[in-house]
Structure 1
Amino acid sequence: MSDDARGPIQATRTFPGTAESCGQARSWIRSLILPYPEIRDSAELVISELFTNAIRHTASGDPGGTVRVTVRTEGDPPSLLRLEVTDEGRRNHVPRQVSRAMLPPEDAQSGRGLFITSVVSYAWGCFPADGDGPRPAEPVREHRDGAMTTWVEFALRQEMEMAGSP
């Protein structure tokens, strides 16, 4: 497929904050980015990690919680693919934490998601969901304290290097 045949993508979907929905989010992303096979596996891996973080560490995983996922390309022709995962904020009993991409100890059973994200993506970061970041494309229920959007970008052109590249 030529780069000219790759059209723009702009889509947002809200999923129930359940483990089963993680697979649905992964399949949805895969269906949207079929024209971009060079980043498809990495994007699926990252959406799984970020969705899992949202339901494990925020109120999105509470009964009735949701996770909003946005995927869009940027540029004409597209040069970046951006994924965003917006959670519903921290649980009341969980202290506020800073997201860091650190490799955990070898014997750790979890905690590699953001590290993996930083290695396979062009760039990543997060911002308060009600702050200076992009506005949602669809209505969502009111966010709890500390709702965050975590974003990840993938280069769609070979001349753009990945963040983990030498």
Structure 2
Amino acid sequence: MNYNNLQDSGVKLLCTGLKDINCKLEILSLKNNCITEGGCHVLAAALNSNPSNLTELDLSENKLGDSGVTEISSLLRNSQTIQILRLSDCSICEEGYKALSSALRSNPSHLIELDLTGNDPGESGVKQLSDLLQDPDCQLNTLRFLGPAADEGCKYVTGIVGK
């Protein structure tokens, strides 16, 4: 459902179906739909109320901000199935990174891919991610939080000096 300008009102309508006990949705991609904190609140509440088979959630290119990501973090605390979460270009700053890291430390075993490209982690956000990756229970295989050029630079340096 990418690029459909759903806005928060459209997400609210979609959530009516997500709450249905018969919902078997595995992948939900709502990239670039003008979703804000309010839409995140409704979405997280719907998905928390009905444990589903959702394994992948993409909310990239929406204006979620730290408040919206805090709502999505509540979903991560409860989910036993979400493996991939994409939140690139969502106006997330240090507080959002803190909420995500906290949620993943409390329920670390399922998420294997996290995309935060195009957000501004700030110094404390980078520290939160670093601390999370040091957790032996953390299962993240893929973490993206830099732009493509910086990511390539990190891969190059890692190849030379190791971890």
TM-score, length-scaled by structure 1 = 0.30
Q: Which has the higher helix share?
A: 2
